[in-house]
Structure 1
Amino acid sequence: MSAKRGHAAAHLGDFTVRPRMLMITGLALAVGGVGALAALALLRLIGLVTNLVFYQRWNVSLVAPGLVHHPWWLVLCAPVLGGLVVGLMARYGSEKIRGHGMPEAIESILTGGSRIAPKVALLKPISAAISIGTGGPFGAEGPIIMTGGAIGSMLAQLLRLSADERKTLLVSGAAAGMAATFNSPLAAVLLAVELLLFEWRPRSFVPVAASVAVATVSRGFLLGTAPVFPVDATGLHLTAPDEALAVVCGLTGGALAVGATWLVYRAEDAFAKLPFHWMWWPAIGGAIIGLGGLIEPRALGVGYDVIDQLLTGRATLSLIIGILVVKTLIWSLSLGSGTSGGVLAPVFMIGGALGAWEGMLFPHVIPGFWAMCGLAAVVGGVMRSPLTGVVFTLELTHAWGALLPLLVASTAAYALSALVLKRSVLTEKIARRGLHLTREYSTDPLETFFAHEVMHPCPHALDSRTRLDQQLTDTLADLADIPRLIPVTGADGTVSGITTRRRLRDHTSRATANGTVADAAEPCRLVVHTDHTLRQIAYLFAETSLTSAPVIDPGNGRLAGVITLPDLLHARLHDLTEEHHRQRILFQRTPTPAPAPSPAVTAVAAGAASTE
């Protein structure tokens, strides 16, 4: 009975229950459709506010400020008023609408059990539309991520689901909104994996991919299937010098990403020192935006038209320099004020401007080629998501032949950013809220070892029929190397219970002449198998609050050993050894012995043993 329980629980701990995955996938399909509608609604709302504020007309088409001459007072005052409205909404509505969406979604996953309040789903897109529509230099993707995530979270909260299943639906909604906005299904899935899921498992990947697929198909009916920024890649022929210069483009993009990230959080620090309530900060950020708009009006708004000009080689030098300088400054400084808006579109524009400027110095490949490299590089450096940067650029432009230089540029920027900065523009905000977030994923060492490799083999088991006497307890007391847990076996050799030396000693002192080991035994709450991984056993120990268990051979049901909590450290020690132990293999006459356990690991193991 105990063996069956152990096996079933370990199977559940491995999260491979197929019916649940299929059910969540079915729910994710609905989330994908609603997420696409939410993305369309937000884009239309941004277009409406922009048209009302800057063109005084009722129109929902997405248009940028600065296409015509605007009065100076409108350019200066509109972002201030927009920031004031956003500040009021954040203070009296929900503080969760502040920021650019992705850190808030990550925080909800890490600490909130993937629960997002319904009012956030309503207030976030409205605040973002006001912020961007009044000239804010932000993108729609961050608010769409938060809104789509709120849709998935609310559906999950209506049902009886686990926190992990709520997370899957939250991320499904967020990725669906991204895919519907940019017509970029693969980039949306990669963004979900690299930024939001914190895992790569069928239970979450399949529903997210299904949601993205529905959202992308829905976008075809709502907004069309053409790429957002089509680039004519006819005549694209890359040479070795082009590939080498992609490294230069990547390093400069990484340096720009580092500078922009640093500027965002220096601005946030400066706003935090102001002697008045944070509700007023977005209005001050709006003043910064307005001043920048007087210098370069095209830096205002979401800027999709400017990105298109940069990626197709139609941008003038004055526009490139204006975007590179003004957009970077007003985006970084105003984002630090806590207003509402996304980071991807500004990063696209800034990276495209950097690449377009470098393209005036580098050899010509095709129009917009170096702007594409700059875009991928800055995304890889700012977001610390190099694969997302590459795939986003390819799906936005459909210039599939540029894959290799984009990969080179994005990876170079990512490497520079990782070497210089401890955290990205997303994770720094999470860390400032007192949370620890790692973006480095590797195989769990506990998954690579089986119980039979680390257990205490052939333990000193006791037959349940053995008579209790002082000689037995004295003999066991002399065996210092045996585990604290002592299995008790029945007549057939299978585990019937467990005991300890203390229980044996206590029962011996008051045992009758006919007392046996069975009297000092208690039922065995957990039995594990020799082919269980240490990860499965760790889940079982956590589930049952135990620190040791008998190990049986599933083939014959006989006792094989005992495994304890300190034994699980063997996998961690092996992982540390592979990471830090260096040796020369070739031309070495005698093999180097394995290093002794580090003091830290030894201390941990000793501490765990002392608690038993």
Structure 2
Amino acid sequence: MNLHAPHRLRHRPLGDHSADWRMLLLAAMAIVVGSGGALGAWTILKLIALATNLFWFGRLSAGPALITDSPVGYAVAVIPVIGSLIVGVMARYGSDKIRGHGIPEAIETILFGESRLSLKVALLKPLSAAVSIGSGGPFGAEGPIIMTGGAIGSLFAQCFQLSAAERKTLLVAGAAAGMTAIFGTPLAAILLAIEVLLFEWKPRSFVPVVVAVLVSFAWRPLLIGAGPMFATASGQPAGLWVIAAAGALGLVVGLEAALLSGTLYRVEDLFHRLPVHWMWWPAIGAIFVGIGGLVDRHVLGSGYASIQALLDGSLVTRVVLALLFVKAIVWLIALGSGTSGGILAPLLILGGATGCLVGHVLPGDAGFWAMIGMAGIMSGAMRAPMTGALFSAELTGHLDGLPATIAAAAIAYAVSVLIARRSILTEKIARRGRHILQEYTVDPLEFLQAGQLMTPHPDALPGSMTVAAASDHFAEGAKHRSYPVVDAEGRLLGMASRTDALRWQVEGVDSRTSLAETLSDVSQPSAYPETPCGEIADIIIETGVGRIPIVDTAHRVVGILSRQDLLKARSAHRHAETARSRFTKAT
């Protein structure tokens, strides 16, 4: 018998992690991806500024420009429609993947597209987002930069011979790098990668993402600027009651996040019922954006100036109410129409407006409570509580407010997951018939070893048994479909099954031949008691062999592991999740 069969596992030291030296290769590649993500973020911001100047001021400039300062008058109702028509044409004749806010598309590419994004998407997504936001679309740049940064990472990865998992690592590294460059929030970007995009916690992905984020953060002062994006001097009230009040605000914005998510997809359903091609939907949605602009121009564009004003507590109540209600309406309609734009900046505005209003009746600066509202609504809408808590603190430079942002984020997250089945990010994917589970658990098959699940001392057939005797054994009602065949010392020679007995009869194998001779040229997969059960499951899938012998270092059979045994691990895991008892005896 060939003892070096391709599916016989070698002894290898087991460890806490599965990292190998390719992690360092990916980390080196992440330097390039992080630089690309930072440059992509700078490009998008410049394109948005260029589009804003063209649409609202009629000038060719990439300098700062606020829509609220534009002298266009009642044309404010027309300009968003023009921009949305352009986006619709780009989506129809360029790529429909530029539609939406980018993060669901990135998740879908990671989970179902082998992390392959095209050059066309990398070019058209920032252009379409710039046109949409620059013409007054009520979006932020973060969704498009996550898609664009991810495309940069994916395209770079596709230049090399990498696995889908390795491409995913570089795609997410580019997305996190882009977010870091825009907002200057490296820790939150890393957490966003873990909570929303990676769908794993492994050194193989964590280390390259950190490298890309740090590289992007190093580029940021040269490309965009240093320091917190929305630095504020808002004072934090003192006392333990602040944590309780932050939790209560988290409850409010958690309900708000669930309401926004549900409403968004109801609006999207309404657009799907329209008797016109989807290319025209963004322009139809932009009509409502223009009307909202007539009510208050603060609801147009990315709204970064409004976020700063909310955090400073400098907005009058009328404007705050417009941001809360009018901004929500135009954003939901515009995003539901399928145009290109992000969700994070609008969420920050809506959560910040809620917090600002609550702050008028609570001690402390209204800007502090706006920050708490931003943390909560981001957590509740995106189902990323740690990202939401840290993002708001990093964004404003108020790391001393972390206990309060954590309280708001945790409560908002709890409310959101209890009353809504999907997040604003995953509902779109679910509507395409694909299920997303945003929970990380240890695979019981990777946690358990063969020795813990195997049937010890299994029945075996001696190698000296003849083919005739073995055939009779199976014909007389053997307990199992297959048996290990061993030599006089108990060493594995192979496996004999009912199928083998039938094959011997059909092929006319000499009935006096011993099983040892019959199986001498057969390579039999086997494993060791220390082998993780996940590896044995892989062997069963690859070979189609349903029972795997477990052997010791001398290749003596000590057990057998079947498909049914592997399913027991799943059953035990489910039992631990659902069975409830009191005062169980400790072991």
CA RMSD of aligned residues (A): 2.3
Q: Which runs of 5+ in 2 are unaligned?
A: none
Report the alpha carbon displacement of residue 546 of structure 1 after superposing the two structures with TM: 2.9
Change in Cα spacing, 1:438 to 1:513, as seen in structure 2 (3 Å) is closer
Answer yes or no: is 1:52 the counterpart of 2:36.
no
Identity %: 45
The equivalent of 1:208 in structure 2 is 209
Q: Secondary structure at the match of 1:308?
A: helix
User: Which range is displaced more, 410-419 or 10-19?
Assistant: 10-19
Q: Tell me the SS of whatever aligns to 2:61.
A: coil
Conserved 8 A contact 1:79-1:290: yes
Q: Return the alpha-carbon distance in structure 1 between the equivalents of residues 512 and 16 of structure 2.
A: 46
Worse overlay, 274-283 or 184-193: 184-193
What is the correspondence of 1:255-270 to structure 2 with a 5 Å cutoff? 255-270=255-270
What residue number does 2:576 align with?
578
Partner in structure 1 of residue 460 of structure 2: 461
CA deviation digits over 1:304-359, x for unaligned, max 9? 11101111222221111110011111101110000000000111111111100000
Output the amino acid matched with 2:354: L
Q: Which moved more, 1:51-60 or 1:251-260?
A: 51-60
Verify: 1:167 aligned to 2:165, yes or no: no
Cα–Cα, structure 1 residues 303 and 297, in superposed 2: closer, same or farther, change >3 Å? same
Q: Normalised by the size of structure 1, how large is the TM-score?
A: 0.90
Cα distance, 1:92 vs structure 2? 0.4
2:323 corresponds to which residue?
323
Q: Aligned with 1:395: secondary structure?
A: helix
State the match for 2:18 in structure 1.
16
Residues 474, 501 of structure 2: 8 Å contact kept: no
Which position in structure 2 is the counterpart of 1:503?
500
In the TM superposition, residue 5 of structure 1 has moved relative to its aligned partner by 4.7
- Residue 393 of structure 1 corresponds to which residue in structure 2? 392
Q: Distance in 1 between matches of 2:283 and 2:290?
A: 10
Q: 1:489 aligns with which of 486, 489, 492?
A: 486
- Counterparts of 1:9 and 1:222 in 2: how far apart (Å)? 51
Q: Distance in 1 between matches of 2:539 and 2:128?
A: 46
1:491: how far off? 4.7
Q: Which stretch shows the higher mean deviation, 184-193 or 238-247?
A: 238-247
Q: How far apart in 2 are the matches of 1:8 and 1:347? A: 52
Where 2:97 maps in the other structure, the secondary structure is: helix
Q: Distance in 2 between matches of 1:69 and 1:499?
A: 86
1:505-557 CA distances to partner (integer Å, 9 max, x unpaired)? 76489564742112443623311110112112112222333322111123x33
Matches within 5 A, 1:401-550: 401-470=400-469, 473-474=471-472, 480-481=478-479, 483-504=480-501, 507=504, 512=510, 514-521=512-519, 523-550=522-549
| Counterpart position of 1:272 | 272
Note if contact 1:25-1:207 (Cα within 8 Å) is conserved in structure 2: yes
Alpha-carbon separation, structure 2, partners of 1:203 and 1:4: 26
**Structure 1 residues 401, 494: closer, same or farther in 2, change over 3 A?**
same
Q: Specify which of 20, 23, 29 is matched with residue 27 of structure 1.
A: 29
1:246 deviation in Å? 1.1
Cα deviation, residue 387, structure 1: 0.9
Deviation string for 1:135-163 (max 9, x for gaps)? 00001011101111111111122211111
Structure 2 residue identity aligned to 1:578: A
Does 2:149 align with 1:148? yes
1:215–1:202 CA distance, 2 compared to 1 (3 A): same
Residue 493 of structure 2 aligns with an amino acid whose one-letter code is S
Counterpart residue identity of residue 488, structure 1 = V
Aligned partner of residue 238 in structure 2, secondary structure:
coil
Which deviates more from structure 2 when the two are superposed, residues 276-285 or residues 186-195?
Answer: 186-195
- Deviation at 1:180? 0.7
**Residue 239 of structure 2 aligns with which residue?**
239
Alpha-carbon offset, residue 424 of structure 1:
0.8
Structure 1 residues 333 and 491, CA gap change in structure 2 (3 angstroms): same
Structure 2 residue identity aligned to 1:292: G
Q: Provide Cα deviations, 1:340-388, integer angstroms capped at 9, x if missing partner.
A: 0000011111111110000001122x45111011101110111111111
What is the SS of the residue equivalent to 1:18? coil
TM-score, L = length of structure 2: 0.94
* Aligned equivalents of 1:239, 1:492: Cα separation in 2: 75
2:217, 2:467 → 1: CA distance?
72
The AA in structure 2 aligned to 1:567 is: D
Distance 2:529 2:30 in 1: 38
Query: In the alignment, which residue of structure 2 is the partner of 1:124?
Result: 125
Give the structure 2 partner of residue 347 of structure 1.
347
Offset of residue 85 of structure 1: 0.2
**Alpha-carbon distance in structure 2 between the residues aligned to 1:62 and 1:378:** 28
- The 2-side partners of 1:280 and 1:9 are apart by 62
